[in-house]
Amino acid sequence: MIKKLMKSLLRIVIFVIVLGFVVGTGCINTIMFHPEFARDGYDEKSPGYVDIGTNGVRIAAVVRGPERGKKAIIRCHGNAEDMMGTLWALGDLAEQGYTIAAVDYPGYGLSDGSPTEEGCYRNVHRLYDWLIETRGFKPEDIIVDGFSIGSGPATELAATKPVGGLILEAPFLSAPRVVTRIRLLPIDPFPNLKRIGNVKCPVLILHGTKDNVIPFSQGKVLFELANEPKRFVPVDCGYHNLLPISLGENRYRELIVDFMENGIKEEQK
């Protein structure tokens, strides 16, 4: 009886695990992405809007500032927001002579398609290529900045293309590990912990000590895995969506500009 009971329990455990894998992998995009659709007042006439898509597929981007600014910063937006909503933190950098650019992931804002990991990479790569081909930027003059889920495509771009620097704000080790902490699924979308070692440019990481979405510890681990030169800025009492406010908006922008212009100074390490 005991052996039969143990076998039955083992079958149930195996079934639950297999079911979890099937459901987790089959519904991963639905679970992972929370698209922000185009809001009222946000359309093709919005300041800086440009369609950088190819082959009839719309890839909505916004580019503000000089035609060829001192540097360009690609902002990879977070979840439940679009490219327009993510630019508020960078504020007046465009007025200071920098080119500020962002792109909607597939299914977000005005971009065509449905959100997928590969689709996010594609759209961010397309913006990178467009800045080089159309605006004439050199790769070393492009800084990529990823917030939250945007840390995934930002890290992937910096690991596979030459850029002048990588900024990660409230980054995770991988998307599922935000919840599981360790790898439980056979797939591991946005594996920042595996890619950060391939990033050869300067790295700046900001993370709030009271982040209520992505554990502060995950930003620390990524920093430890990153190559030099690198800098970690803990934002005291900073919550997930309020890093610039918690740090102070002026201080936040000064930090970004200093990194874009000077990289990591010896005394900052």
Q: In this structure, what token pair is assigned to residue 147?
A: 């917030």
The b/e string for 129-167 (b: 16+ C-beta within 10 A; e otherwise) is: ebbbeebebeeebbbbbbbbbbbbbbbbbbbebebbbbb
d(CA 215, CA 3): 42
Cα 3 to Cα 6, 13, 14, 208, 250: the distances in Å are: 5, 15, 16, 51, 67
Catalytic residue of the set 104, 141, 145, 211: 211
d(CA 118, CA 88): 26
Q: Beta-strand (E) ranges in the chain? A: 49-51, 60-64, 72-76, 99-103, 142-147, 165-169, 203-208, 230-235
* 125 is known as an active-site residue: no
Strand 72-76 to 142-147 pairing: parallel
Nearest to 218 by CA among 196, 198, 244, 186: 196
Sorted by sequence, the CB contacts under 8 Å of residue 262 that are 6+ apart come out as none
Provide the β-strand partners of residue 235. 208
* 240 is known as an active-site residue: yes
Q: Is the torsion defined by CA of 206, 90, 158, 116 positive or negative? A: positive
Catalytic residue of the set 148, 151, 174, 246: 148
* 246 is known as an active-site residue: no
Catalytic residue of the set 51, 188, 240, 258: 240
Q: Which residues are catalytic?
A: 148, 211, 240
